[in-house]
Structure 1
Amino acid sequence: MHPFNKDEILKILDNAKGNLYYFIYIMLCTGMRPGEIISLTWNDINFEKKRIAVDKTTVRGKIGNVKTQSSVRYVDIIPALEKKLKSLQELNISDTYLFISNYKKPFYSHIVIAKRFKKLLFDINIKDRNLYNLRHTFASSMITAGHNILWISQMLGHKDISITMKVYARFVKEDDEKRIENLSKIVLNF
């Protein structure tokens, strides 16, 4: 697991084009798995309730169940993502899937996108990492920013927060100022 840092993320987003750009952006804003993203339809996006229904994945051209039952979830649409999804919707030539291949069909797998991502990293001189590290980048950046661990765990589709903590605990940091502020809020009830 090697999350991208802020400078790398900005460089990636500045240089990604087309579907790859939107794919990367969705991963960075949701932590969704690549197979879940290529399976998304516009019916899964609810702009009114600001959430995405995640209940399927694509593996070798077959749309099926997500990784685990706890992976069936709603993923929140943060404001920055909402703007990008609406832009993608305006550009999209498919009224069904968010992402379609050059053949105007749903992607067979996320491998084509993963290869394009690796090429992008090579072209912009960023250390080679796989596409899944965008999921790790979402989780680690949200934890580092101090967002609610339960929310992060639910966004990732983890069964419970112990899984999230086991994988991402090293990103939980608190500076002395925040620690001291939190100490002053502790009240004993005995």
Structure 2
Amino acid sequence: MWENLDSKYCYIILILIYTGMRIGELLNLKNEDIDLHNSCLTIRESKTDAGVRIIPISSKIFNLFVTNMVKDQEYFLKGDTTNQLSYSTFKPRFQKLLKSLNIEPHTIHDTRHTFATLLNNANANQSAITKLIGHSDFSITENVYTHKDTEELRKAIDLLC
């Protein structure tokens, strides 16, 4: 993804992976909800009450916001002919991009799983992961969203030595 930032959709996928936002939250994100000075996003509308939250912007993706924010545009993601990018426009382009990059098929929601797994693998605080992903308790996040790969499991086993 990082080598293909010229594609509009690569930067969108990276933002999803590094923020844990639901696709609907990103599509509804307005420029006024992006605070570059304090490096954070405000999610005002979400699927759940816990989903209404503030997400710090990782330094790794900060410039993706800086370079792609368009002044005087209401929504961060503008459609080709509309004020706001729609899910029905984004979904097939997401699938096409993955195919063109020889990445196995995934759902857009898998970016949230990746986010939670990356944080979990980095031993981030469970409360922080829960708040960042917009869940009410960690059991949902851990049981559904975090996927330990074999290498992470090996590291855990090696702790026994």
Q: Could you state the TM-score of these two structures normalised by the residue count of structure 2?
A: 0.85
| Whole-angstrom distance in 2 between the partners of 1:117 and 1:17 | 14
Give identity over the alignment, percent. Answer: 27
| 1:24, distance to aligned residue in structure 2 (A) | 0.9
Residue in structure 1 matched with residue 155 of structure 2 by the alignment: 175
Larger of the two Rg values belongs to structure: 1
Residues 77 and 84 in structure 2, CA contact (< 8 A), matched pair in contact too:
yes
Q: Distance in 2 between the 1:168 and 1:76 partners? A: 20
Do structure 1's residue 124 and structure 2's residue 130 form an aligned pair?
A: no
Counterpart in the other structure of 2:75: 97
User: What TM-score does the superposition give when structure 1 sets the normalisation length?
Assistant: 0.73
Comparing 121-130 with 37-46, which one deviates more in the overlay? 121-130
SS class of match (2:38): coil
Contact 2:114 2:146 in 1 (8 A): no
Asked if 2 retains the 8 angstrom alpha-carbon contact of 1:15 and 1:120, the reply is: no
Residues 20, 116 of structure 2: 8 Å contact kept: yes
- Mark the runs of 5 or more structure 1 residues left unpaired by the alignment: 1-11, 57-65, 181-190
- The CA RMSD over aligned residues, in Å, is 2.4
Gaps of 5+ in 2: none
For the residue of structure 2 that corresponds to 1:122, the secondary structure is helix
Amino acid at match of 1:140: T
Q: What is the CA distance between 1:169 and its match in structure 2?
A: 5.2
Q: CA deviation at 1:178?
A: 8.0
Runs of 4+ in structure 1 over 4 Å off = none
Structure 1 Cα separation of the partners of residues 65 and 83 of structure 2: 19
